[in-house]
Each structure stands twice: as structure tokens, then as C-alpha cells.
Structure 1
Amino acid sequence: MKIRRMSHGDLELMTKWLNTKEVLEFFGDPAAPPSAGQLREKYGPRIDGSVAVEPYIAETAGKPFAFMQCCRLTDEDYKSYGYSMEETIYGIDQFIGEPELFGKGYGTQMVTEFLSFIFKEKEADAVTVDPELTNPRAIRCYEKCGFQKVKQIDGERKWLMEINRGRWAETL
């Protein structure tokens, strides 16, 4: 498996993925799938590095199959989640874009590799994810990777889950 920075050439693939009902169920709005132009507008600045969210593509056997992104938490998130501003906390989001690869261990593998990158390269103290309570597949994946549920957020629609550096080191 390889994780690489997303490029403008990946936007067509993102358009395909984000117009797939299985992906839209938990990543986007099924009632309003995004257009290629909307995705270019949203992800172009991320690709160019002009916003703090860093986009990545996961590949297996040279074929892109998933999207991942990370960024340091906002000041508002630090406050609402109860973190100290002295800590380096990153949030991640990801999805597998090819539904035929669901439930085959790719999610666990890519999240595990992404965590290694963030803890080593970004020197994070902790990493968070916020899956919807109605997404048990994602929650199981994150728990396999060492995340623990912290509290329900967003009107109790999502779990705030966290893995800190010490717990991550134990999973190696």
C-alpha cells in the first residue's frame, strides 16, 4: 500500500467516488452529490497547499482506491474537545472510494499507515476521528487501529475518537 499527496489529476476520480451512493452515505450529502467544479473548488486549494487541510490518496497495486486527509485541529475544536493548546492534535478523515474493497482490511491498513505518518512526520501528540454513530464499519476499523471513544459530539450524531502517541506506540 502506498499513500501519496493528492494531485489535481485525482479530481476526476474524487468526482466518481463522491458520486457513489456507498461513499455518500457517510462522506457527503446523498441528496446533493458534488459536481466536478465543486470538488475542484474545495480540494484545489488543499492540493496547492493554500489551506491547512492536507489531502492524500491511498493506492494498492498501483491503483488509487481511497481518499485521506489530515489537519491540525482548529482552536474551536481544541476548546470544545478539551485539549490543551500546547498539544499537537490532528484530525483525520478518510473513505474507501471503491465499494468492492469494503470489509477486506484495506481501511485498517491505510489508517494504520496514515497514523504512523502523522505521529512520525507531524509529531502529533494525538489523532482524532469523528465517525457517525450510524457507521459501525468505520468505528470497528478505528478501534482495530487503537482509537478509543471519548464522547459523542455534533448533537450526539458522531463519536469523537482518539488515539494518543503512547497508545499508538503500543499498537506497533
Structure 2
Amino acid sequence: MYKKDPTIRPLKQGDKAFLLKWLTTEEVLAFYEGRDRQFTEALIQEKFYADTEEDRWIGEVGGVPIAYLQSYQLTVGDKRTYGYSVYQPVYGMDLFIGEVTYWNKGFGSAFIHLLIARIREKDAAAIVTVDPRVKNVRAIACYKKCGFSIVGKVEKREWHEGSYHDVYIMETKETNGIVT
């Protein structure tokens, strides 16, 4: 496929141009944030660089940035909404491949495994969750391929392109590439 393995690295200020390019691409916005969202440099700064509660990453292949990833501890409110004990260590994660020519080539699952490994470095006992829209069949298939299973559904959870959409709560108990 490609000569270089996928890697992830922390997001840097110099990555703003990639984020702006990706988040003004209609194909990407159809799945992430919505085509009705108008991203600007100021909004990129606010959304991706101001909040320090999330770990943010850039996914690369052969040194070429192609994806954005983030992970974060779920809030007490989100834990309750998703059905977890407020005392459990639960992380959420999100990602998108911004370079459309890299879609459907296995990079999404590679980046997911890399991000889970980073989360496990922080807390080996954590549950890792994702919450794709129910209609995002491709993302759900990718997460299942990576060992996630659907454990719940939250109705009208995510605002996307003018209305609220249902999401699945998916979790994995993967540890070092092994699903337990």
C-alpha cells in the first residue's frame, strides 16, 4: 500500500493550515462538523488550540499530515448520559482523515490503534469510547474492525447540518492491540 507506516504526533501551531484546508473540504465536513459550518483561521484557533482538556494529534503517513485525532476524559455529565459510573476512568476519542485521497485505505483503523495506545499510556484501566452518528455506517464499521462494540444509543445527541442526530455509544477494552 504505502511505504511508510502511519504515525501520530502532537498538534502544533503550524498545523492550522492543514486543519483549515481539511475543514473547508465538503467531503470531510459531510461527516465531521457539517457542511453548514464555516471554518476560519479564528475558529480553528478557538476550537483546536484554546481548550487544553483534550489531547490533540496529527496523523501522518510518511511525514505527510493526513488526519486529525483527539482524546479526552469524559465529563461527569457525559458518563451519566452514556451509562458509566462517574468513578470509572472513561475516555472519548474522535478523528477524521482530512486528505480524502487517503480514505478507504486502512489508515483510520491504524490511527485508532495508535490513539488507543496513547490513551492506555495515561490510564491502562480506562474504557475508551466513541460516539458516531447512527447513520455514519463507514465510521461504525471501522470502529468495529478496531474492536469497538455498540453498548448504547443516545437519541438527538449531536447537532449536524441543522438538526440533532442519534449516536451510538461504542467502547473498546483493547489493551496493546489485543481486545479483551
Same fold (TM over 0.5): yes
Contact 1:125 / 1:165 at 8 angstroms: preserved in 2? no
Secondary structure of the residue that 1:10 maps to in structure 2? helix
State the partner residue of 1:10.
Answer: 15
Q: Does 1:70 align with 2:71?
A: yes
Contact 2:147 / 2:174 at 8 angstroms: preserved in 1? no
1:4-55, CA deviations, whole angstroms, 9 ceiling, x for partnerless residues? 1101110111000011111101111201221111111221224xxxx21111
**1:132 positional shift:** 1.0
**TM-score with structure 1 setting the length:** 0.90
Contact 1:129 / 1:160 at 8 angstroms: preserved in 2? yes
Q: Does 1:35 align with 2:40?
A: yes
CA–CA separation in structure 2 for the residues paired with 1:94 and 1:140: 14
User: What is the RMSD computed on CA atoms of the aligned residues?
Assistant: 1.7
Structure 1: runs of 5+ lacking an equivalent: none
1:54-88, CA deviations, whole angstroms, 9 ceiling, x for partnerless residues? 11101010100000000000110111112112211
The worse-fitting range, judged by mean Cα deviation, of 121-130 and 105-114 is 121-130
Identity among equivalent pairs (%): 34
Contact 1:124 / 1:165 at 8 angstroms: preserved in 2? no
**1:105 positional shift:** 0.3
Give the length in aligned residue pairs.
Answer: 167
Q: Does 1:157 align with 2:157?
A: no
CA–CA separation in structure 1 for the residues paired with 2:124 and 2:21: 33
Contact 1:90 / 1:124 at 8 angstroms: preserved in 2? no
State the partner residue of 2:29.
Answer: 24
Contact 2:150 / 2:169 at 8 angstroms: preserved in 1? yes
Matches within 5 A, 1:131-146: 131-146=132-147
Letter in 2 for 1:30: R
**TM-score with structure 2 setting the length:** 0.86
The structure richer in strand per residue is 2
**1:124 positional shift:** 4.3
Contact 1:2 / 1:59 at 8 angstroms: preserved in 2? yes
Structure 2: runs of 5+ lacking an equivalent: 1-5, 157-164
Contact 1:69 / 1:93 at 8 angstroms: preserved in 2? yes
CA–CA separation in structure 1 for the residues paired with 2:178 and 2:13: 37
Secondary structure of the residue that 1:157 maps to in structure 2? strand
Stretches of 4+ aligned residues off by more than 4 angstroms: none
Residue number among 153, 157, 179 corresponding to 1:171 in the alignment: 179
State the partner residue of 2:49.
Answer: 44
Name the CA shift for 1:81/1:145 in 2 (closer, same or farther; >3 Å): same
Contact 2:71 / 2:93 at 8 angstroms: preserved in 1? yes
State the partner residue of 2:161.
Answer: none
